Chain A
Amino acid sequence: MSSSPSPEAVVVGAGIVGAACAWELARAGVRVAVLEAGLAGGGATAAGMGHVVVLDDNEPEFRIAKLSHDLWDALAPALPEGAEFSRPGTLWVAVDGEELEAAARRCAAYRARGVAAEELDAQQLAEAEPALREGLAGGLLVPEDAVVYPPCVVPWLLDEARRRGAQVEEGRRVAAIEGRVARCDDGSRREARWIVLATGACAPELVPGVPVRRRKGHLVITDRYPGFVRHQLVELGYLKSAHALASESVAFNVQPRPTGQLLVGSSRQLGVDDDAVDHRMLSRMLRRAQEYIPGLARLHALRAWTGFRAATPDGQPLIGPWPGHDGLLLATGHEGLGITTAFGTARLIADLVLERASPIPREPYLPARLRGSVP
């Protein structure tokens, strides 16, 4: 480290968000050092679904999701084969007339903002997804939503950053952030004008008071059943589950991987620190999924695992300066949208470092909005 000039920015945490920030900064000519305590892309990044989805529960969420989705699209041709980028689209499923009306409203909203969307009636839904049970009301198809395998994207982003001079260290845990210095477990120090904190749900361990909480999720992956499901299928109630801060909830969310395997989710639990598979929650989640796709019952589950999302009190990520700590930028709190919004986050972080305008307003994500609020 002594032979190269000191970095202008240190990125702590090399999950998808940290890696995207490092890549974006390095591309812009910033000298970057990345410090990852474990395996790059091995945390929540490896545990999630890899769904690139333009969620639109509220305006700020939509803006950053749309921006990021377009950046994923632009990057897709350059991604390595292992990233398995595909575009099955998202099909939001309505169980009754009320949900179908909500779907229609969302369809109009998407279209008004340049996102391709299509309403499906019961017949069209059944044709699009024969595995769904009978008696559903219809759905909303967003055909350009994508699916990717983030644990292969992260190493690629870091390699690209290295090619532009970034220093990347895995197995290097940061013990404390003191002013502009990141002090590591082995006693070594990295000093930089900017420190970007992208450690996900662990952020409060390094910077007490950062309002993120761990929100545990479960996933199950099946053996290969090509063609059984064609789109990512999500119940319209998913948004309620994601945004409400109920202590536990499940929502139907099934994704077809390019391998033909199905990824079955989703569950949320606050206030649980144990990463063990919780059979009770797993059952609730799987039963919910079988309510929509009865045929799931006979498919073979190969693995089940858990992960921790970083949840904030208001459901928006924390992107920007942490008040009272000059040079510290937070890039965390992405809850279930970390994969989707990684590149939008990286863009905003780079804009802050380079003091340039951003394509979307930064205010809704600024940490200052929550300073002093209890997580």
Chain B
Amino acid sequence: MSAPASVSCDVLVVGAGPAGLAAAGAAAGAGCRVVVLDDNPGPGGQLWRGAVSSHERVAAPWLAALEHPAVRLIAGARVFARTAPGTALAETADGAFAVHHARAVLCPGARELFVPFPGWTLPGVSGAGGLSALVKSGTAVAGQRVVVAGSGPLLFAVARELKRHGARVLLIAEQAPRARVMRFAASLFAWPAKLADAAAHRAALLGTPYRLGTWPVEARGGDSSLAVRLTNGRREWDVACDRLACAFGLVANTEPARLFGCAIGGGVVAVDARQETTAPGVFAAGEAAGLAGLDAALAEGVIAGLAAAEGHAHGADGATETGLPAPVLRDRTRARAFGRAMAQAFALRDDLRALARPDTVVCRCEDVAHAALAGQPGWRAARLRTRCGMGPCQGRVCGAATEFLFGWGVDSVRPPVVPVRLDSLSAAGEIPPAGVEGPTR
């Protein structure tokens, strides 16, 4: 059986979102050969999806990292296994290949947290960032009535994006109570850039009601439209619309890090001052290392890229910030403080745990309802006895939901960490060691 294709580099970067682009640029600037793998059709991650063609200003200087001669982007590539420290396996539509690397920087970002409620599985109900991603990839929403609901400042960005594409955003429903959000808004004076962002959002969305302390309790489908029932804790009312874009914050994509042997703490990848994880030579940056937004992702990406390059050149020398540029360290500190403030302000209320009815689907891949899960002792028992988490999403959607609903923790991951073709999985066991030539790509 012929060996699968392989590429070699000094630094492997997983994820071509803001953090990954920052890391790639920093590592290449320090003299490393860099391979960037990203599972989307193009670079930019979620925030800058389609930014290449939409020429988004903020993204351009970071996307420029991909122009560096020592940086190679392989798009549409999903990392699924790691056969040795220094050898990762990825799959594209064309097949599987190995990436031999000395250091890795993991920037797999975050996904949205979905809280099950009656009707959340109807077509027309999607995530908030989810609908934004679909729209950026060409889904038309012009003239459609959209209710944006859930939690977090992300809802503003989503509403603006939808409006830009001609949607009628009927309202934004934020579950966090008014008092907390107002305090957070007042605190933005500590981050003037964020204040400016917020003001710009507000200006762009004048005329779109922003209801605080408000959340959805049910979506019902009609022939060609949806009825969304909202509540503010005192009364309920229905809103007729075409789409509901709803998500309750973000969950770090920690699976690639688990695959690389990194310790996870508090739902994010544990990193030291140089963004190094507990796995030697493996760094992490961006949302996966802590949900703190764009500025943190960029600062952390730069630090991780420099640290990965440094380690390559001189050998790792301890978890200090020595040698890292002071301005970037300052940016990271400030951005993380913003992230903490955000997490506090938009923490999810207990009411959301009571939305699901006994027959509300919790595991969408296998149609497992809340009633089947409520009596289970934990995640593993639920998986084995109800099939929850046994579908193609591998528990990414229902695992976060059951953690929120029942406090269950998900257990370790095994390869393949994404569904892959059987011949790709076979290829993983047939890699010659780095230095022995397989066909190159």
Contact = CB atoms under 8 A, between A and B. Distances in A.
Interface of A: 39, 41-42, 46, 82, 151-152, 155, 170, 220, 222-223, 264, 276-284, 286-287, 289-290, 296-305
Contacts of A289: 422
B81 interface: yes
Interface in B84-129: none
Interface of B: 1, 81, 83, 377, 380-381, 384-386, 390-392, 394, 414-416, 419-423, 425-430
Contacts of B425: 220, 282-283, 286, 301, 304
Main SS of chain B's interface residues? mixed
Contact of A299 (B81, B83, B416, B421): B421
B94 to A, nearest CB: 13
Contacts of A302: 390-392, 394, 419
A301 B421 CA distance: 6
A298 B422 contact: yes
A281 B421 contact: no
A46 B384 contact: yes
A287 B426 contact: yes
Contact of A283 (B381, B392, B421, B427): B427
Nearest to A38: B380
Contact of B429 (A170, A223, A282): A282
Given A39-B384, A151-B385, A297 B423 contact: yes
A222 B429 contact: no
Contact of B414 (A283, A290, A304): A304
Contacts of B415: 277, 279, 304
A303 B383 CA distance: 13
A301 B1 contact: no
A276 B81 CA distance: 12
Contact of A220 (B391, B422, B427): B422
A303 B390 contact: yes
A300 B384 contact: no
17 contacts: A39-B381, A151-B384, A152-B385, A170-B377, A279-B83, A282-B428, A284-B429, A286-B422, A286-B425, A287-B1, A290-B422, A297-B422, A297-B426, A299-B422, A302-B390, A303-B390, A304-B425
B196 to A, nearest CB: 45
Contact of A223 (B1, B81, B386, B419): B419
B414 A300 contact: no
B421 A297 contact: yes
A303 B83 contact: no
Contacts of A282: 425-426, 428-429
A293 to B, nearest CB: 10
Q: Which 8 A-B pairs have the closest CB atoms?
A: A283-B429, A279-B429, A297-B423, A151-B384, A286-B426, A280-B429, A300-B419, A279-B428
Given A276-B414, A283-B429, 9 more contacts: A151-B385, A155-B385, A279-B428, A287-B426, A300-B419, A300-B421, A301-B420, A301-B421, A302-B391
Contacts of B390: 302-303
B428 A298 contact: no
Contacts of A284: 429
A140 to B, nearest CB: 26
Contacts of B414: 276-277, 303-305
A223 B419 CA distance: 8
Contacts of A290: 422-423, 426
B415 to A, nearest CB: 6
